[in-house]
Amino acid sequence: MTLALETLGVMGTRPSGMAARNRVGVFLFSASSGGLPSSEITFAKLLKNQGYSTALIGKWHLGVHCQNKTDFCHHPLNHGFDYFHGLPVTNLRDCKPGQGSVFTSGIRLLVFIPLQIIVIGLLTLAALKWLALVHVPRAVFFCLLLLAAAILGSLLCFLHYFRPLNCFLFKNYDITQQPLSYDNLTQRLTADATEFIQRNAETPFLLVMSYLQVHTALFASKSFTGKSRHGAYGDAVEEMDWSVGQIMNVLEELNLANNTLVYFTSDQGAHVEEVSPRGEVHGGSNGIYKGGKANNWEGGIRVPGLLRWPGVLQAGLEIHEPTSNMDVFPTVVKLAGSPLPEDRVIDGQDLMPLLLGQRQRSEHEFLFHYCNVYLNAVRWHPPNSTSIWKAFFFTPKFTPEGANGCFPTHVCFCYGQFVTHHHPPLLFDLSKDPRERNPVTPATEPRFPEIMEAMQQAVDRHTQTVQKVPNQLSVGNLLWKPWLQMCCSSASSLSCQCDREKQDGAVSR
């Protein structure tokens, strides 16, 4: 059988240090040294061992290098993929001119505030000198002006070089476009995906299609721009829908559909704080659910999972049971005939018994929801009960007051002044309150103590199995390292510009 996954769920075991302890929870630079450790076992690696051809097309965002720019220790080809075409980091506003920056708050803190302090200091010293109250040597003014120029120059260099140094496309180990062009980008990646399927039509294959859409910066080709009633976000969704259709079509044309499991999902809910400078909503909607991306309210973690396997899975079947993207790992590994690793805890569960109707309930009696490294909430679906309990140990402080997100910081953070801790935990019955508006209390739920005791015991059992590992998202691993920076081989300076991507027979622009 073959597998086509429209998701990037490459890790089915516990991440090895891929959760942050500070504000920055993702890699922002291609020349960072952190990433997915070689000790992690991906389902791509296990399927490759079973004779599958494996490809990742789209976004990786799990690191590239460790010690030097030729080791590729975190690269997809070092984690079981035979072929990679896409971005080593992610799609950011900074990658598309005119779409703003994810570094706005950092620039304000590290540039604008220091410049304001320097200007105020210069004016104060000048006034004191003019009033003959203090003798201020000219060297002081010169040093302050030099410092201001250095800060301003650093900002200009950062803004000029960030895009070419971090927004580029790989094919395997080679840069094919630097900086990346959004012109027909989805079409190019989709064409590559269909060609991969065609090349491997006679052999088992795994295709992970990790879409850049609908992450900001939003983009769509000319064929889709302005066609949706929902603005730029709708255009991007419609183009992604077209892309999925192209992949499904080629499976049908090659008579592979009945032998291919297709799984489509998202890694998180809509990013409710993602609003453009012009006030356009660029992050989608979570409907009735509270919160969104980067928090564990239902709007942040409740996402659809769509599966298709004609002749095996019943068409139109809806399953309302709690599952997880972690379940992709054991599901595809078992379908491929590979044994699961026995040297580590596998948190995912095989989905096939649930999908085939052999089980009526998810094997996840408990699910543990983390906010970076911090255990944020736990979900309990007791046997022989319709209740789904969810307890929060802390919740993010939404700002401004009454908002449905953390708009000043763009995402909600997981620690310190940004959260409210709850003693006892905040408890909801999602079967009755999916919007998470009305927490139950000992006064409204007589079983409150026994419910919390059962959930706490589950947490204790879980935390005993969690091992301490090196932090891949430490400040040291996140920082840009010039010796890890990749540039086109033809480039003679940090301009790093080349275009070896072809679209419609012409070089892209």
Using the predicted structure, report yes or no on whether residue 15 has a pLDDT greater than 50. Answer: no
CB 351 within 8 A of CB 65: no
* pLDDT digit string, tens, across residues 100-144: 888 888 888 899 999 999 999 999 999 988 888 888 898 999 999
* pLDDT digit string, tens, across residues 176-187: 999 999 999 999
Sign of CA dihedral 120, 156, 219, 477: negative
Length of the chain equals 509
Taking residue 310's Cβ as centre, other Cβ atoms within 10 Å add up to 13
Query: Given this model, what pLDDT does residue 41 score?
Result: 93
- Greatest extent of the chain over all pairs of C-alpha atoms, in Å: 91
Using the predicted structure, report yes or no on whether residue 10 has a pLDDT greater than 50. Answer: no
- Specify the DSSP element, H or E, that contains 292: none
Q: What's 13's DSSP letter?
A: B
Taking residue 463's Cβ as centre, other Cβ atoms within 10 Å add up to 10
- Enumerate residues 6+ apart whose C-beta is below 8 A from 300: 268, 269, 286, 291, 292, 293, 294
Mean pLDDT over 355-360 rounds to 92
Q: Which amino acid is at 414?
A: C
User: Pairing mode, if any, of strands 498-499 and 174-178?
Assistant: antiparallel
Query: Given this model, what pLDDT does residue 3 score?
Result: 57
User: Quick one: pLDDT band at residue 508, thresholds 50, 70, 90?
Assistant: very low
Query: Given this model, what pLDDT does residue 350 score?
Result: 95
Q: Is 421 helix (H, G, I), strand (E, B) or coil?
A: strand
Q: What's the mean pLDDT when you consider all of the chain? A: 90
* pLDDT digit string, tens, across residues 398-457: 999 899 999 988 899 998 999 999 999 999 999 999 999 999 999 999 999 999 999 999
The whole-model pTM stands at 0.89
User: Quick one: pLDDT band at residue 88, thresholds 50, 70, 90?
Assistant: very high
Taking residue 105's Cβ as centre, other Cβ atoms within 10 Å add up to 13
* pLDDT digit string, tens, across residues 271-292: 999 887 777 788 888 999 999 9
Using the predicted structure, report yes or no on whether residue 491 has a pLDDT greater than 70. Answer: no
| CA-to-CA separations, 407 to 216, 250, 259, in angstroms, rounded | 16, 42, 45
